[in-house]
Structure 1
Amino acid sequence: MRHAFLTDEQIDARALAHRRGLGFRDDRAIDFAKLMARLKARYPNFTYERVADDSLGEAEAQWDSQAKRLLITDTVFDGAERGEGRALMAVAHAVGHALLGHEGTFNRSPAGSPAERFSPKLRSMEYQARRYAAAFLIPDTPAVRALDATGLSRRYHVSMSAAIVRHSELRSGENASVSPSRPGGVAG
């Protein structure tokens, strides 16, 4: 599959569609255990594995498109199970690579990869996965746009820094069309 350029609006729309398609409500945080179970049920070739912290170098998680496998370090796995924002963001980033159809092996590292500086294609895919993760965890709906960063952080269990960035993204796109909220939604 060729790497496709996606606008921020297209990334947000895909993240929202995937979130809803996996049965998560717009007004609730993503539950890690449910996410892994629903990904496995919806995509039978998808697998995930908990690995030792040092097995991925500095990476927190890794998506391998050929093996259709997500590797998650012990620290991130434990944090995601507890609903910690940084850990959920690392998992959502790797899921973004998977559901956006990025081909290759992608490591989610705190500092990014040195290869990003030299490869426009890799830089684009990493940007898309970062944007996707934020949009997947904090959907773009009218009700969500009414919240401030503190409200986003509390409701969606993300770090305050992630909530501030997402709040800014939502504010900058206020004139763009947003997907309507679903009253009640699917139980999450």
Structure 2
Amino acid sequence: MSENTNPRDDGFTIAGKTYHSRLLVGSGKYKDLEETRLATEASGAEIITVAIRRTNIGQNPGEPNLLDVVPPSKYTILPNTAGCYTAEDAVRTCRLARELLDGHKLVKLEVLGDEKTLYPDVVATLAAAETLVKDGFDVMVYTSDDPILAKRLEEIGCCAVMPLAAPIGSGLGIQNKYNLLTIVENA
């Protein structure tokens, strides 16, 4: 870190690339692509997540394409595996994203184990992460708040480990501060 004591001023580095904004925004839930573009620009974010199974980035020619309004020349597109419930589906989805994005390697891996809570299937997540890292991907991985699993994901080469702090959409805030602190301390 530089002499500046505010870490936000030093940037945020993922897989060797430094960003000025620490905010990652999603591309879903907007009424149309124009609203997506406007919200993304207003946010100041440099990274936008894209659910490959739900968002057209070229796999459906002739349909509106997110990349026409949120170009990879301006933003880091972060393909994610939202909606995948097996390691195989997640790996296939990441490979499709890489093909559609001309060799793009950075992905957000999430393999869900429960449709209601959206908790990750940690066994399938670990298997998919191992395959993707071996396949040359830079993997940002969504997982449980288990410090042992987080360390294992780091050891196999994931560039970021993103542990669940509370059930998605619950508004409960951080539920297990000790586990999250342990993950950070062990990183």
TM-based fold match above 0.5: no
TM-score normalised according to structure 1 size: 0.28
- Higher RCO, 1 vs 2 (CA within 8 Å, ≥6 residues apart): 1
TM-score normalised according to structure 2 size: 0.29
Structure having the larger proportion of residues in strand: 2
